[in-house]
Amino acid sequence: MDRILIRGGRPLSGAIAIGGAKNAALPLMAAGLLTEERLTLENVPRLEDIRTMASLLAQHGIAVEWGPEKKTLGLGGRITSTEAPYDIVRKMRASVLVLGPLLARCGEARVSLPGGCAIGTRPVDLHLKGLEQMGAVIRIEGGYIVASVAGRLRGAEIVLPFPSVGATENLLMAASLAEGQTIIANAAREPEIGDLAECLAAMGARVSGIGGDRLVIEGATKLHGACHAIIPDRIETGTYLCAAAIAGGEIDLRGARLGDVAALARALDDAGVEISETATGILARRRNGLAGVDVMTEPYPGFPTDMQAQFMALMSVAEGAAMITETIFENRFMHVPELNRMGARVNVHGASAIVRGVPHLSGAPVMATDLRASVSLVLAGLAARGETVVSRVYHLDRGYEAVEAKLAACGADIERIAEDR
């Protein structure tokens, strides 16, 4: 398995192009199941998770083709199977996003239950309850969600007890082909949901309340093809903002949207990082030391859980203490022991971590169990004295395109060591 080697201590300077949002691309690809016509997605990142979703769609009978520049994906074809097998779903939880579209389009679906993952149990009960309210009959059999509906799904008023991103997306897609009106109250408001709703609207669905916590969808009998450009990745953006902050120097993030990372930008500003909007994206600059800042993860527009590990790496070298509270996932501090091996002083108490800043970290061999934890170790490596080797890089490849090339182009001393070396 590849590893990433970082020799820390170099400030960054240069520009990084932000790719399309992985977490927008995955539901948008699932939306390809809602029409027999062609759906073209532009600005698709080339990531392992995208390839996993492509193989799942292929298993359903959908042809997935990259355009000549490898940034566009064309989806189309007849659905030949409504089963999402365990072998694919266990690799990527977002596979469960095919459930709503398959059920709405074909009246049946058999989707493996995703099970637990490194960051928590992550059930899908809200997805299933919402679909049942729309008339689906669902049972769990042999580890699979077996869902069917007589005729079409019916519009319903669904109040989510928690604004789950995945449940909002699954229900939004199902509602776009349901009979009558669906209301999703306490819907998640993440920008990726707005992006999905815009694409569904381009496919002929009538969705109002986009960007808010109450989505109203008038179902259509049929959706048509469309061409949709995916929004820039706010988590990739946030990660490189933290890279500039931890390494020092200045990075220009091309194509990034400040509005999508407002909560993080506020925290970085409090920590002493200069963040400004430019004509082409966001400029991040750190000249002086960092100050400790408390943050708590929350649903959007709050501080994103997907930025918690990276922000912790940053706080580990800030002056003073920072309290980082995780409210979205119950087990998302797997990076703490690894950061501590690099000399960080982090103590976890329940859902909170107290980070006492140290003057410098020291390089070490480390590994991580999930995507954002892995990249937090890369960030820590940029600031550490000596060499850091991050193993289990396949986690990184799930969500970051060419992370080492992008950082190296800004002056970081970082390289990928291929498995056989």
Active site residues: 117
Q: How far is the CB of 137 from ligand UD1 (least distance, A)?
A: 18
**Footprint of ligand UD1 on residues 302-321 (CB under 6 A)?**
305-306
User: Which one of the spans 81-89, 116-124, 272-280, 337-345 is the region binding ligand UD1 (CB under 6 A)?
Assistant: 116-124
**What three-state secondary structure class fits 140?**
strand
Residue nearest to ligand UD1 (CB): 166
Q: Are 199 and 35 in contact (CB under 8 A)?
A: no
User: Which one of the spans 69-77, 124-132, 150-158, 203-211 is the region binding ligand UD1 (CB under 6 A)?
Assistant: 124-132
Residue with tokens 């990076």: 335
CA 352 – CA 195 distance, rounded (Å): 32
398 near ligand UD1, judged by CB under 6 A = no
CA 83 – CA 61 distance, rounded (Å): 11
Nearer to ligand UD1, 235 or 283 (CB): 235
- What six digits make up the tokens of 219? 């179902």
What does 362-419 look like in DSSP terms, one character per residue? B--EEE-SSHHHHHHHHHHHHHSBSEEEEE-THHHHHH-SSHHHHHHTTT-EEEEE-T
User: Which one of the spans 50-58, 142-150, 165-173, 283-291 is the region binding ligand UD1 (CB under 6 A)?
Assistant: 165-173
Q: Which of 1, 188, 170, 35 is nearest to 93 (CA)?
A: 170
Strand runs labelled E in 186-238: 206-208, 214-218, 226-229
- DSSP symbol at 210: T
The binder of ligand UD1 chosen from 166, 255, 292, 363 (CB under 6 A): 166
The binder of ligand UD1 chosen from 4, 20, 23, 52 (CB under 6 A): 23
**Footprint of ligand UD1 on residues 37-66 (CB under 6 A)?**
none
355 near ligand UD1, judged by CB under 6 A = no
CA 372 – CA 233 distance, rounded (Å): 14
164 near ligand UD1, judged by CB under 6 A = yes
273 near ligand UD1, judged by CB under 6 A = no
User: Which one of the spans 69-77, 160-168, 214-222, 360-368 is the region binding ligand UD1 (CB under 6 A)?
Assistant: 160-168
94 near ligand UD1, judged by CB under 6 A = yes
Tell me which residues touch ligand UD1 (CB under 6 A): 23, 26, 93-94, 120, 122-127, 162, 164-167, 188, 192, 305-306, 328-329
